[in-house]
Amino acid sequence: MANDNTTPLAAKDYDQKINNTIPYYQEFYRQTLDIVRQCNFSNINWLDLGCGTGTLEKLIFQEFSDVQFTLVDPSEKMIKQAQEKLKNDSIQYICADSASIQFAGCFDVVTAIQSHHYMQEDERRKATKRVYNSLKNGGIYISFENVIPEDEDVKMFELLRWGKYQQRHGKTEEEAKAHNARCGVNYFPLTVNGHIELLKETGFHKIHVFWYSYMQMGIYGIRCKVQS
Ligand X SMILES: C[S@@+](CC[C@H](N)C(=O)[O-])C[C@H]1O[C@@H](n2cnc3c(N)ncnc32)[C@H](O)[C@@H]1O
Compute how many other C-beta atoms are within 10 angstroms of the C-beta atom of residue 130: 19
User: Taking CB under 6 A as the rule, does residue 145 contact ligand X?
Assistant: no
User: Taking CB under 6 A as the rule, does residue 114 contact ligand X?
Assistant: yes
Helix (H, G, I), strand (E, B) or coil at 49: strand
Compute how many other C-beta atoms are within 10 angstroms of the C-beta atom of residue 120: 8
Distance CA 66, CA 53 (A): 21
Distance CA 151, CA 196 (A): 18
Q: Which residue in 46, 93, 107, 118 binds ligand X (CB under 6 A)?
A: 118
Q: How far is the CB of 148 from ligand X (least distance, A)?
A: 17
User: Taking CB under 6 A as the rule, does residue 134 contact ligand X?
Assistant: no
Q: Which residue in 47, 60, 119, 142 binds ligand X (CB under 6 A)?
A: 119
Distance CA 34, CA 54 (A): 18
CB 125 within 8 A of CB 168: no
Q: Strand 92-94 relative to strand 205-213: parallel, antiparallel, unpaired?
A: unpaired
CB 143 within 8 A of CB 200: no
Total of residues contacting ligand X (CB under 6 A): 20
Residues 196-215 interacting with ligand X (rule: CB under 6 A): none
Comparison of 76 and 151: residue with beta carbon closer to ligand X: 76
Q: Which residue in 36, 70, 86, 97 binds ligand X (CB under 6 A)?
A: 97
Binding piece for ligand X, criterion CB under 6 A, among 32-40, 84-92, 111-119, 215-223: 111-119
User: Taking CB under 6 A as the rule, does residue 147 contact ligand X?
Assistant: no
Distance CA 5, CA 148 (A): 22
Residues 12-71 interacting with ligand X (rule: CB under 6 A): 49-52, 55-56
Residue 109, amino acid: V
Comparison of 102 and 228: residue with beta carbon closer to ligand X: 102
DSSP state of 225: P
DSSP state of 147: B
Q: Strand 92-94 relative to strand 216-222: parallel, antiparallel, unpaired?
A: unpaired
Comparison of 63 and 151: residue with beta carbon closer to ligand X: 63
User: Taking CB under 6 A as the rule, does residue 6 contact ligand X?
Assistant: yes
Q: Which residue in 45, 98, 128, 143 binds ligand X (CB under 6 A)?
A: 98
Comparison of 88 and 137: residue with beta carbon closer to ligand X: 88
Comparison of 78 and 159: residue with beta carbon closer to ligand X: 78
Interacting residue ranges for ligand X, rule: CB under 6 A: 5-7, 49-52, 55-56, 73-75, 78, 97-98, 113-115, 118-119
